[in-house]
Structure 1
Amino acid sequence: MPIRIADNLPARRTLEAEGVIVMAETEAARQDIRPMRIALLNLMPDKITTETQIARVLGATPLQVELELLRISDHVSKNTSAGHISEFYRPWADVAQEKYDGLIVTGAPVETMPFEDVTYWDELRRIFDWSQTNVHRTLSVCWGAMAALHHFHGVEKHVLEEKASGVFPHFNRQPASVWMRGLPDVFDVPVSRWSEVRREDLPEGRGLTVLAESDATGLCLIDDPAHAALHMFNHLEYDTLTLAGEYARDEGKYLPRNYFPGDDPHAHPVNSWRGHGHLLYGNWINETYQTTPYELGDIGRG
C-alpha cells in the first residue's frame, strides 16, 4: 500500500519522481481499509526536507500510512513559509484529544542548550506524556530522542567538543529484536549532532535496551518498552546529499567522515545506508500495525 499525504504537499512530487507510490486523499477515502495513522511532530527548521525524508521511508512499507504533520502550538518557524505551515500542519493543541497509531518526533537545532531553556520544552513534555495515552508507539529522532530520554528517565546529554558528522559503521547489538529484523551485524548510519547520550548514564532497572551503537560515535538506537518508544540518535532517513548540504551550510568547517569518497568534498557521496533506513522504519511500522488496536479509540486503554 502507498503512503497517504495531502494532494498538494511538495513532498508528493519528489516521492512520485522517485517511484514511491503516493495515494491521493480522494483515492484513499474510497478504500475500505483503516490506514495506519502516523503523526510527525516536525521540530526541524527546514520542514519540507524533513517531511519528505520521513514520508519516503514510511512510503516504502506495504501498509497504507496516513501521515499527519504536527507542530508545536505556539512556536513560529523561521525557515519554512507561514503559508506552508498553515496549509499542512496542525498545532498539537488542536489534536490533543485525538489518537494515533504512531508518533515520530524529529530532532531540532537546539542540542547545545539545556532542555529547560528551549522555549517549547514545557509543551514538548506534555506531548511526551500525551503519547502514553493517545499514541500506540513512538519513534524519537536525534535531539528528540535525547529529549524523550531526559523526560522519561532523567538521562542527561553531553555537548561534544566538535560536531559528530559523517557515516559510521554501527553494531547490531540485538539482531533477534523485532526492531532490528533483517539488519546486518554491522551497518552504516549517518550521524549529525553536537551532543550525545552515554551508555554509562542509562539507568538500570528501567528496561532500556541498546539496539545499535558505534565505536566512534556511541549510542545510536535504544528500545524503551515501558514507554512504547524507540529512541534513535542518528539519521537513517537522510538523503544521499543531506550531509553535503550541511557541510556547505557550515561553510566547510566540519567535513563529514567516511562520507565523501577520498574525503574529497567535490566527489559525489555514495549512499550506503538507504536499505538500512527502509528496514528500520519498515520494522517499526510493521510492529506497530501488528499490535495496535483496530479501533483507534482503544489506544491507551491498556
Structure 2
Amino acid sequence: MPINIPKQLPAREILEQEKIFVMDVERAKTQDIRPLNILILNLMPEKEKTEVQLLRLLGNTPLQVNISFLRTATHKSKNVSKSHLTQFYTTFKEVKHRRFDGMIMTGAPVEKMPFEQVNYWEELKEIMEWTKDHVTSVLHICWGAQAALYYHYGIDKFDLTRKCSGVFKHQVTDATVKLVRGFDDYFLAPHSRYTSVEMEEIVANDALLLLSSSEEAGPFLIISKDEKHVMITGHLEYDAMTLAEEYERDLQKGLDIHIPENYFPNDDPTQQPLNKWRSHTHLLFSNWLNYYVYQETPYEWE
C-alpha cells in the first residue's frame, strides 16, 4: 500500500523512480480505509535526504500511511531552504492538538553537546512529554534514541574515544519480541556517532528490553516493555553511500577521522560500498508499523 505525501515534495520523484507506491491527498480520499497517521520529527541537517530514506521504508508495507513532517520552531535549519520548510513542514504548536498513530524522531548533529545545551531541548522535552498521550508508538533514531533514553529513563550518553563509524555485526538477544521477528541471529547495521550509552544501564532498567547489540558498537535495538518507545542507536535508514559522504565531508573539514569500519571494499575509499543492511531495515520498519502501530492504535482516537 502507498504512502500519502504532498504532490510537490521533491522526494516524490525519487521514490516513484524506485517504484515506491506513493499517492496524493486527492486519490487517498477515494479509498474507504483508515490510513495510519505518522509524524516525522526531522532533526537531520540534510532534511531532503532523510525524507527519501524514511519514506522509502514507510512505503514498503501493506498499510496506507499519511505522513506529516515536523520541525523545531526554536532552531533554524541551515541546509534546507525556507520555502521547503514552509511548504512541507509544520511546527509542534500546529499539531499538538492532534493524535498520531506513530512518530519517528531522527538523529541530530548535536551529540557532543549536553542535552540541556541544545537550543531546542526545551521544545523537544515538550514534544516527548506530549507523545505519552498523543502517539501510539515512537521510533527514535541515533541521537533521537539517546535523547529518549535520557528524558524517559534517565540514561545519559557518554563520549567515545573516537567516532563510531562503519557497518557492524549485531546479535539478536531476544528473538521472541515482535520487533525482530524474521531477523537473522546476526545482522549488519551502520553507525555514525561520537557518543554511546552504557549497556549495563539499559539491562538494569526494569522498563527497558535490549533486543540486539554489537561487540564493537554497543547496544543497538532497545524497546520499552510497554512497547511505547523503540530506540535504534545506529542508522539502519542510511543509503549505501551515506557513510562515504559523511567521511568525505569530515575530511574536507580537516577532522581527524578514520575510514568507516567494515564499509569500503578492502578498506579502499575509492571502491563502491555495498548496502548489506537493506533487508533488515525494511523488516524492522515493517514490524514496527504492523505490530506496534497498526495493531495497537485505536480506530478512532478519543
Range class of TM-score, shorter chain: over 0.9
- Contact 2:174–2:212, Cα closer than 8 Å, also in 1: yes
- Contact 2:16–2:22, Cα closer than 8 Å, also in 1: yes
Q: 2:297 aligns with which of 269, 292, 296?
A: 292
Where does structure 2 lack aligned partners over 5 or more consecutive residues? Answer: none
Q: Which residue of 2 aligns with 1:262?
A: 266
1:275 has 2:279 as partner: yes
Q: Deviations over 1:216-241 (max 9, x none)?
A: 01010101134701011101111111
Where does structure 1 lack aligned partners over 5 or more consecutive residues? Answer: none
- Contact 1:166–1:256, Cα closer than 8 Å, also in 2: yes
- Contact 1:132–1:227, Cα closer than 8 Å, also in 2: no
Q: Which residue of 2 aligns with 1:19?
A: 19
Supply the AA of the counterpart residue of 2:39: A
Aligned mates of 1:74, 1:117 — CA distance in 2: 13
Alignment of 1:201-280 (within 5 A): 201-202=201-202, 204-226=204-226, 228-251=228-251, 253-280=257-284
- How many residue pairs end up in the alignment? 297
Aligned mates of 2:225, 2:76 — CA distance in 1: 33
TM-score, structure 2 normalization: 0.96
Alignment of 1:146-161 (within 5 A): 146-161=146-161
The alignment partner of 1:250 has SS state of helix
Q: Which residue of 2 aligns with 1:81?
A: 81
Q: Deviations over 1:15-38 (max 9, x none)?
A: 111111111221111111111100
Supply the AA of the counterpart residue of 2:295: Q
Q: Deviations over 1:250-300 (max 9, x none)?
A: 1173311111100010101111100010000000000110111001x23xx
Q: Deviations over 1:118-168 (max 9, x none)?
A: 001111111111000000000001001000110011111011111100110
Q: Which residue of 2 aligns with 1:172?
A: 172
Aligned mates of 2:188, 2:195 — CA distance in 1: 20
Aligned mates of 2:97, 2:81 — CA distance in 1: 27
- Contact 1:187–1:276, Cα closer than 8 Å, also in 2: yes
Supply the AA of the counterpart residue of 2:298: P
- Contact 2:202–2:209, Cα closer than 8 Å, also in 1: no
Q: What's the CA shift for 1:205?
A: 4.9
Supply the AA of the counterpart residue of 2:277: W
- Contact 1:167–1:191, Cα closer than 8 Å, also in 2: yes
**What is the aligned-residue RMSD (CA, Å)?**
1.1
Q: What's the CA shift for 1:92?
A: 1.1
Q: Which residue of 2 aligns with 1:9?
A: 9
TM-score, structure 1 normalization: 0.96
